[in-house]
Amino acid sequence: FLSCQAEARVMLPRRRGSIINIASMSGSIVNRGLTQAHYNSSKAAVIHMSKSLAMEWADRGLRVNVVSPGYTLTPMNKRPEVAEQIKIFKRDTPMGRMATPEEMVGPTVFLAARASSFVTGIDLIVDGGFVCW
């Protein structure tokens, strides 16, 4: 919220801008087998805050959107102690694999670009189809 406020102080006087917050698919679903209510609820809060700010600032030219990654192969997920969980993530993702961090770049660039000039208040879930289940 504080970052959004700081960005808005610069963008609102210019009557244009794009804020892109990062949440997680876990803000829209409950991950089977994982006990992480604190994580899920914080990501849901980021999504809802972003939608609320999108509506508050839309008439002043500022867009606010969210990118919500699915299971992503980051250093945290490359640790040996999570190897079995990674197999489950891959098995349960319709595309049969985890995302790479680089696969979050394109969706984020889209939301920052003129190509998305009429897009505000969305949660762009980049998850290989996981939340479709």
Q: Specify burial of residue 87 (Cβ count, 10 A radius: 0-12, 13-18, 19+).
A: exposed
Indicate which residues carry an active-site annotation: 39
* Separation of alpha carbons 35 and 27, rounded Å: 14
> Which residues, other chains included, contact 119 with Cβ-Cβ below 8 Å and sequence gap of 6+?
63, 65, 111
